[in-house]
A and B are shown apart, each in its own frame.
Chain A
Amino acid sequence: MIEWLNMDGDGIYVWPCYVLTLIVLIANVWVAKLQHASLLKRAAARARHNDARTEVLEEISP
């Protein structure tokens, strides 16, 4: 196992490449997910705001 990880000394080059690739690929998806959640939240806030405004408009209109 250790021997395989070491790869005759080349492991210090091979493993960082794979780990970095994994990090970048996961980070991309993660950021996209976070952005999606925050966009939905913002849209919900806007929708609530719009609802409140229409209610007020209905109340004050004769």
Chain B
Amino acid sequence: MNAFMTWFYQMSSPPHFYRWAGRAIPWFMWPALILSAVAAYLGLVRSPEDYQMGHTVRIMYVHVPSAWLSMWCYTSMAVASAIGWIWRMKLAHAVAAAIAPAGAALTFLALVTGAIWGKPTWGTYWVWDARLTSELVLLFLFMGVVLLRNAFEDRAQGDRAAAILAIVGVVNVPIIHYSVNWWNTLHQSASVSVAGKSGIDSSMLMPLLLMVLGFTLYLVALILMRTRNEVLLRESRKRWVQELVQS
């Protein structure tokens, strides 16, 4: 615990973080690349088609990881915002600012792949299905955080305002999720149950899990990259940045 606190404390120093992240990014990006490539190979070539959905089940290997990770992004953005708010830690705000657009991109991806998947399953691109509707609301929430942060001239003020919105939002996300699910079951629209309720076959589970892992590592690398940018943006007047660019 003590070692962790020391690490945490060191990480909160922007120059230290900047250098550490620069070294760490390849260690996340390359495994992400390899894992996703293997998962894509397994998913597209080696895994069987579903007896009901046929080959379209292969969309699951990109749709489900994006959907899961978009939720993860919102939660971690709120956690980073809370840390930044409570301990007045600039770096945590930078992390939150870095996550928001990445999360929005993943949510967008989950929405579009879900819609494309909908065409062969439901016969139309858009159905007000529980998962798609939750993702749509999540996209609005992400955009709100990004827009609010942008609306302030003063960066620190924007950070703090966005932090409040993210924290209020994360209290709401489970409520939204459950109410949308409930609303959906009430109206019994064409809902597709992704294989998973009644024991998914290992030939499908393997690529899915590998893809989730690959996406996670990719996301960590992306967030580190974007956080480095946010740090540079916030610290451009500091001496260490000037020394960094001169050397």
Contact = CB atoms under 8 A, between A and B. Distances in A.
Given A14-B56, A17-B117, A47-B242, A36 B109 contact: no
Nearest to B61: A18
Interface string A13-29: 11011101100110011
A13 B241 CA distance: 47
A47 B229 CA distance: 17
A20 to B, nearest CB: 6
A4 B105 CA distance: 29
A contact patch SS: helix
Given A29-B225, A36-B232, A44-B245, A21 B66 contact: yes
Contacts of B119: 13
A21 B111 CA distance: 11
Contacts, number: 86
Contacts of A39: 229, 232-233, 236
A53 to B, nearest CB: 12
B165 interface: no
Nearest to A45: B245
Given A21-B113, A44-B246, A47-B245, 7 more contacts: A8-B54, A10-B54, A17-B59, A17-B113, A40-B232, A43-B236, A43-B245
Interface of B: 29, 40, 44-45, 49, 54-56, 58-59, 62-63, 66, 102, 105, 108-109, 112-113, 116-117, 119-120, 218, 221-222, 225-226, 228-229, 232-233, 236-237, 241-242, 244-246
